Amino acid sequence: MAARGVAASFSAGYCAFGDEQGAPGVAGEAYPTYSRADIKARCGGASTWVTYKDGVYDITEFINAHPGGAQKIKLAAGGSVEPFWRIYRQHLEQQAGVMDLLAPMRVGTLSAEDYASETCAAKTVDADDPYGDEPERHPALIVHGATPMNAESPPALLGDTYLTPNDLWYVRNHHPVPRLKGDAHEVALALASSPERGTSLAVGDLKSKFPRTEVTATMQCSGNRRGHMNQYGTTSGTAWGCGAASTATWAGVPLRDLVGETLNLGAAPLAAAKKLGLRHAIFEAADDMQASIPLEKALGELGDVLVAYEMNGAPIPRDHGGPLRVVVPGYAGVRNVKWVNRIVLSADTAVGAWERGMNYKAMPSHWRSKADLKGVDFAALPSIHELPTQCAFSAPAAGDAVDSDDESFEARGWALGSAGRAVHRVEVSADGGATWTEASLDAGTDQPYGRAWAWTTWSCDLPIPAGPEPLTLLARAADLGGGAMPRTPEDVWNIRGLNNNSWHTVTLGRTVSAEEEE
């Protein structure tokens, strides 16, 4: 099955549409005024309020009738629906029908002060605050830390479109987001062995002077699912759920072609560079971060490493490395350096914390505490590069419940092979592993051999086991390399919480129908 695309990217901010007419309501009716804080306070428990423009709506009764599902509409609780409608564009394309549904639910008006402060015009940049010029972010992102921004994609939305809308992509920054010069931003290209061959190209040159090449790849923080590891033992780092992963179609220039042509390495740049004693490609970023990858990946004919200027058909947003980032399919997010301004082919790896420090080093499970790290030569440990086979649910999520009257329910998710290998099987259990159901593989199954850089989405109907107990859901995937994902976080645990690819586990409750309650 072919990959399903997203219609477009969304560069607009998350402010309300301040320049349009007022929000729909019942004609002639006068509404009480609420602040944003009032509205947020009304949410939770049995009640859900949202806003559209300056209208306040009580959608409590509508939630279970929402064609997109209750889980998704609840993401807007207390806030504006508009950022979500930009993702789920059918709301805008069929606006008249949507408004007919919405208007009768109106219960109030957003205070003029809050409405104004939420418009773009109200935003000011504080020049003294290093984080004063951050991009606006979608309210559905799950923010783990804001300075620097570390936010994961809402897992429930990851399964909706094969390509993750740019606004919903996970964000993992190390510093404030640089503001660069768009097409005028320059990237230097150099050979450590022959400085005289160096050159520099603007993003505009990359667009106009080289053929545009597309690569569809899932990117994943090496700490994705660290939070699940913490259930076994405390790790250090952001406690990501399973949403530090997203997929895009990137466009740009293959690094192999770029250095082959501009640094006179010819049509077989890998062999040529290795003859010069070079072994790594170092990527330096405008935020002073740097990382490197081996030349076999950087310049190999099947590595598909891209110097990218486009993400899902739009210029790369600032949060995701715009105007220029490196895309290293199959490698940890940290090697996909954002805001790249220099690429050096070198005999050595990059320097600095991201390549040589402890943060991205592979450590064994038997190092259980910081005491075990005493005297460790971190430089001698390998850095995290390629990621292992992964599998995660997008729905249901922890805290959801199945209906006790139903015989089965739908589970959905994604899986990603290691080393570019295709995922050929996903197995899901609703009874803690006693029985397994093979999921249908939906999108992403037609990727080229050894270059399956993007996830495969899956879905299945799972029988609901008898009994009153909560359900223990498990999901595991197999790629073409054999082996198996580890059963529990214990088997892959490490003090830095990297590379958790244990079976994804979700516990579900059971709802009791009204009749039974009586």
Report the interface residues with a copy of itself, using CB under 8 A: 222, 267-268, 270-271, 279, 294-297, 300-302, 362, 364-366, 381-382, 384-389, 418-419, 421-422, 424-425, 427, 435-436, 438, 448-451, 478, 480-487, 491-492, 498-499, 501
Tell me the HSE value of 414 on the side-chain side, using a 13 A CA sphere.
28
Nearer to a copy of itself, 163 or 278 (CB): 278
Name the helix (H) or strand (E) containing 489. Answer: helix 489-492
Residues found in the chain = 518
Nearer to a copy of itself, 222 or 394 (CB): 222
Nearer to a copy of itself, 296 or 410 (CB): 296
In the block, residue with structure tokens 């990218």: 308
**Secondary structure (3-state) at 288:** coil
Question: Minimal CA–CA distance to 392: which of 422, 421, 419, 426?
Answer: 426
Q: How far is CA 459 from the centre of its chain?
A: 20
Please give the full DSSP string across 133-184, using - where no structure is assigned: TPPP--TTSEEEEETTEEEE--HHHHTTSSSPPGGGS-EE-SSPPP---GGG
Nearer to a copy of itself, 141 or 473 (CB): 473
What's the closest the beta carbon of residue 481 comes to a copy of itself, in angstroms?
5
Nearer to a copy of itself, 396 or 486 (CB): 486
> Which residues are part of the catalytic machinery?
66, 91, 172, 221, 360
Nearer to a copy of itself, 270 or 337 (CB): 270
Rounded CA-CA distance 170/151 in Å is: 6
What's the closest the beta carbon of residue 113 comes to a copy of itself, in angstroms?
50
Burial class of residue 98 (count of CB atoms within 10 Å of its CB; 0-12, 13-18, 19+): middle
What's the closest the beta carbon of residue 443 comes to a copy of itself, in angstroms?
18
Nearer to a copy of itself, 357 or 481 (CB): 481
Residue 9 — φ and ψ, nearest 5°? -100, 170
What's the closest the beta carbon of residue 435 comes to a copy of itself, in angstroms?
7
Is there a contact between 50 and 36 (Cβ–Cβ < 8 Å)?
no
Rounded CA-CA distance 333/256 in Å is: 20
Nearer to a copy of itself, 311 or 387 (CB): 387
Rounded CA-CA distance 9/375 in Å is: 48
Is there a contact between 305 and 255 (Cβ–Cβ < 8 Å)?
yes
Burial class of residue 312 (count of CB atoms within 10 Å of its CB; 0-12, 13-18, 19+): buried
Is there a contact between 283 and 244 (Cβ–Cβ < 8 Å)?
no
What's the closest the beta carbon of residue 42 comes to a copy of itself, in angstroms?
45
What's the closest the beta carbon of residue 239 comes to a copy of itself, in angstroms?
19
- β-strand partners of 518: none
Nearer to a copy of itself, 165 or 254 (CB): 254
Taking every pair of Cα atoms in the chain, the longest distance, rounded to a whole number of angstroms, is 83
What's the closest the beta carbon of residue 173 comes to a copy of itself, in angstroms?
23
Nearer to a copy of itself, 145 or 357 (CB): 357
Rounded CA-CA distance 423/477 in Å is: 7
Q: Which long-range contacts (CB under 8 A, 24 or more apart) does 150-155 make?
A: 150/238, 152/240, 152/241, 152/243, 152/244, 153/243, 153/244, 153/245, 153/246, 154/75, 154/243, 155/241, 155/242, 155/243, 155/392, 155/393, 155/394, 155/395, 155/397
Is there a contact between 201 and 259 (Cβ–Cβ < 8 Å)?
no
What's the closest the beta carbon of residue 181 comes to a copy of itself, in angstroms?
35
Is there a contact between 279 and 294 (Cβ–Cβ < 8 Å)?
yes
Name the helix (H) or strand (E) containing 115. Answer: helix 112-117
Is there a contact between 315 and 323 (Cβ–Cβ < 8 Å)?
yes
What's the closest the beta carbon of residue 327 comes to a copy of itself, in angstroms?
18
